[in-house]
């Protein structure tokens, strides 16, 4: 049995690991695109994330690994069970599905047997990759070489959490909630801007230049190659701790609160960077809530928004001629401070307008707090 290199043993690449962890907390953030040269731990990190997560409990014999504790996320087969509570369950490892770049649409979404449906009146569905990846991780190496239409399907399912297959007036729907991870080497070509924008997070990784860290990478890799099981055992405590932290964050994610001031800050920040559309605003909010949940907090802060913007903005910024790719930390911090000031002005203006209408209601009473809906 192959032993997976631990995620926590990867030296550096903190932003990449953070993006993976936050998407594991809430897969509907929308996926991670990892761009970088060969040998920068892209695929190692993706596999390490799957190995980090604890086993899942699923309905026995369900090809979609439905969660018996979430009746709102059941497949068409589990919905037909007369008593879901008493249905047998099994424990499964978190799925890691590696999608080849040659994958066709039918291979990804699954196929319906139209002839059997017409003749026998039964919905015979052959599950595809999206079914196998439900509640797990779907990894696409060289995603820039995958057919654009297939990439669209993957991104749709990652965002919606549902896969729908329709043929000749017959429709089948099943849960498809997974962490979508794409990786690519920019030297082999880029994604179209329309597809690039639909990845919630994009992280650029490069080889580490610090000599001490390069030595640490070399030493750990040699130790792993010499004794994989022993190396994994050495890192098991850290892996278990991080996995438990992710699961705890999943449970409390929908309890994380944000205020109107946070929304104004996010909106002002994306406006200051000239980001088109509104996808970035939504991604930043979801990511900030996941970051707060990961740290065990029930309220997002400006720091959470900062972390979220680092992942959500670089691939959405308009690039001018001769402009370097990426997002400079000082530029982000300056724009975030300006966004905070603008947000405070908007909140003050709203409160003044409310006072004019409602009288002397206290500021605390007027502060609006909201939470993310359950995922």
Query: Which mean pLDDT values do the consecutive 10-residue runs of the chain (375 residues) have?
Result: 86 93 93 88 91 89 88 83 76 90 87 67 79 92 88 86 79 87 86 83 89 93 94 94 94 93 92 88 96 96 94 78 58 84 80 59 52 55
Closest to 184 in 3D by CA, of 170, 203, 171, 197: 203
At 142, list the tokens.
């060289």
Look at residue 186 in the predicted model and tell me its pLDDT: 83
Instruction: Please give the Cα distance from 261 to 265 (Å, whole number).
Output: 6
For residue 14, count other CB atoms closer than 10 A to its CB.
Answer: 9
Strands in 158-209 per DSSP E: 162-167, 170-175, 179-184, 201-205
Look at residue 116 in the predicted model and tell me its pLDDT: 66
At 163, list the tokens.
């896969």
Instruction: Please give the Cα distance from 59 to 74 (Å, whole number).
Output: 10
Catalytic residue among 279, 297, 303, 374: 279
Look at residue 84 in the predicted model and tell me its pLDDT: 67
Determine the length of the chain: 375
Look at residue 285 in the predicted model and tell me its pLDDT: 97
Instruction: Please give the Cα distance from 175 to 73 (Å, whole number).
Output: 6
Residue 25 and residue 71 in contact, taking contact as beta carbons nearer than 8 Å: no
Look at residue 275 in the predicted model and tell me its pLDDT: 87
The verdict on whether 220 is a catalytic residue reads no
Instruction: Please give the Cα distance from 243 to 104 (Å, whole number).
Output: 33
Strands in 60-153 per DSSP E: 89-92, 96-98, 111-112, 125-126, 137-141
Look at residue 328 in the predicted model and tell me its pLDDT: 74
Q: At what angle do helices 329-358 and 302-312 cross, to 10 degrees?
A: 130
Instruction: Please give the Cα distance from 49 to 256 (Å, whole number).
Output: 24
């Amino acid at each position: 049995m192959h032993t997976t290199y631990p995620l926590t043993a990867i030296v550096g690449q903190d932003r990449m690991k953070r993006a993976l962890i936050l998407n594991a907390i809430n897969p509907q953030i929308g996926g991670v695109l990892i761009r970088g040269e060969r040998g920068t731990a892209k695929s190692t990190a993706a596999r390490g994330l799957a190995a980090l997560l604890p086993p899942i409990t699923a309905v026995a014999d369900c090809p979609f690994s439905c969660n018996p504790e979430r009746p709102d996320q059941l497949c068409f087969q589990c919905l037909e069970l007369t008593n879901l509570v008493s249905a047998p369950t099994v424990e499964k490892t978190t799925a890691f599905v590696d999608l080849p770049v040659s994958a066709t649409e039918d291979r990804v979404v699954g196929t319906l047997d139209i002839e059997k449906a017409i003749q026998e009146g039964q919905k015979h569905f052959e599950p595809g990759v999206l079914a196998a990846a439900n509640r797990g991780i779907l990894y696409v190496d060289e995603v820039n070489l995958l057919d654009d239409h297939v990439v669209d399907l993957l991104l749709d399912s990652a965002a919606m959490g549902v896969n729908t297959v329709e043929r000749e007036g017959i429709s089948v729907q099943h849960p498809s909630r997974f962490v979508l991870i794409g990786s690519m080497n920019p030297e082999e070509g880029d994604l179209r801007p329309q597809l690039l924008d639909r990845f919630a997070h994009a992280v650029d990784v490069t080889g580490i230049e610090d000599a001490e860290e390069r030595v640490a990478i070399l030493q750990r890799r040699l130790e792993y190659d010499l004794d994989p099981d022993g190396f994994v055992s050495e890192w098991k405590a850290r892996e278990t701790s991080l996995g438990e932290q992710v699961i705890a964050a999943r449970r409390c994610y929908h309890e994380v609160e944000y205020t109107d001031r946070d929304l104004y800050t996010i909106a002002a920040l994306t406006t200051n960077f000239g980001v088109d559309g509104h996808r970035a605003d939504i991604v930043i909010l979801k990511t900030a809530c996941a970051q707060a949940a990961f740290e065990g907090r029930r309220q997002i802060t400006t720091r959470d928004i900062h972390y979220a913007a680092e992942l959500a903005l670089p691939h959405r910024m308009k690039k001018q001629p001769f402009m370097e790719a990426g997002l400079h930390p000082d530029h982000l911090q300056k724009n975030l401070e300006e966004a905070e000031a603008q947000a405070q002005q908007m909140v003050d203006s709203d409160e003044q307008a409310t006072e004019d209408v409602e009288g002397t209601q206290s500021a605390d009473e007027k502060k609006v707090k909201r939470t993310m809906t359950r995922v």
